[in-house]
Amino acid sequence: MQRRVLGILLVASVLASTAFSQPVAIPLSGRVTDGADMLAPHTETVLTERLQAHEDSTTNQVVVVTLPSLGGRALEPFANELFNTWQLGQAGRNNGVLLLIARDDRELRIEVGLGLEGDLTDAEAGRIIRNAIVPRFRDGDFDGGVLAGTEAILAELERGEGPVAAIRSAYDSPRGRGLSGDEWFALALMVGGVLVGVWLARGFVVKTGGYSSARRAWSFLVRWVVGGGGFGLALYLGAYLLKVLTFSLGHWEWWPGIWIGALVWAGWTWLWEATVRSRPVWQRYRQAQRWVEAKKAKARKAGKKVTIHTWGRTIIYDGRAPASSGSSSGSSWSGGSSSFGSSSSSFSGGGGFSGGGGASGSW
């Protein structure tokens, strides 16, 4: 009966604030306010104890609220107003988090206080919604979704310190769920970055075998920036590995991906160089290249046009072109192919503020 009365009061508060365009005036009754009657009593108890323990150890205030509906209001401004009305978090630290769920609207949002936006980024909040909460909500498991989402939020805020709490099992339990569309896209992006990096590394080794040292160094620099930087960007966008590598920062950073990509690409290039140059076919290819260069030098010295046949290609080289013209050598080739290609009720807020950070979702 008490839960129904609370739900009616919450709906009335939302409708009243909507009708008169006033700020949200929902009372803050505890760390868990289940106005939509979505949670079992035991779940509320577990959540409240977990959130209180987290606040006692960190001073972060995390609040979970369910509402029957938003009364026609937009989710993001509603959540921001509610957060700032309750002043979640400590004054000066702004270290509050609000998990708001609108049952009938099938919408939810994680609103993050200004002081925690570095620990719980918008991207991380969105990942928690997509991976921990929404799949369970779609299965009708509201208790499991709220438990998993809350624990994921606290895990980010605690940055992996200390033993996991009682509800960690709800978040870690196997679900047998496949990858989401976003995760498949991220995986494809990462694999694509790897393939492009390998292709550029192989292309450098094969195509610059006969270059001068200066020209070869410039080609390596250009391909290193493109290949290494592109692979690093793919890692940042698609690899959860970086989340592990930057765990001490509490959130995902881009710069480790760029450096890792650059180092890995340079390593790939070295491996390709060592592998390709040790093969007999490469020795024959380089010998043919030296023979072609000797033919070109002889044509320039004689000042005549020559036709060179090598490795299934026909090269027409005009040795009469003036060296100071600034144009290309005039060589061309056609036909053939090469073996080498390219590659609680007393609870209240502490005076915190939210600047609008967080993420939203629906189910």
Domain that holds residue 328: 295-334
Q: Residue length, the chain?
A: 363
**Contact yes or no for 73/334 (Cβ under 8 A):** no
pTM, rounded to two decimals = 0.49
Within a domain: 113 = yes
What does the pLDDT read at residue 216?
A: 62
166 and 187 assigned to the same domain: no
Q: What is the mean pLDDT of the chain?
A: 72
Name the residue with higher pLDDT: 243 or 292. 292
Distance of CA 69 to the CA centre of its chain: 31
193 and 87 assigned to the same domain: no
173 and 185 assigned to the same domain: no
Tell whether the model's pLDDT for residue 167 goes beyond 60: no
User: What b/e readout covers 132-151, taking b as 16+ CB neighbours within 10 angstroms?
Assistant: bbbbbbeeebbbbbbbbbbb
Which tens digits make up the pLDDT trace of 302-316?
888 888 877 667 777
In the structure encoding, which two tokens stand for residue 267, read together?
């390593």
- CA-based radius of gyration for the chain: 31
112 and 206 assigned to the same domain: no
Within a domain: 210 = yes
Lowest-confidence segment of 129-138, 213-222, 281-290 by average pLDDT: 213-222
Within a domain: 348 = no
173 and 35 assigned to the same domain: yes
Which tens digits make up the pLDDT trace of 257-292?
666 666 776 776 767 667 766 777 767 767 777 788
228 and 256 assigned to the same domain: yes
111 and 158 assigned to the same domain: yes
For residue 351, give the DSSP letter.
Answer: B
Within a domain: 59 = yes
Tell whether the model's pLDDT for residue 148 goes beyond 90: yes
Cα 204 from Cα 210, distance rounded (Å): 11
41 and 97 assigned to the same domain: yes
199 and 162 assigned to the same domain: no
Within a domain: 251 = yes
What's the total number of domains in the chain? 3
Over residues 231-254, the mean pLDDT reads: 53
Which tens digits make up the pLDDT trace of 180-202?
555 566 666 666 666 766 666 66
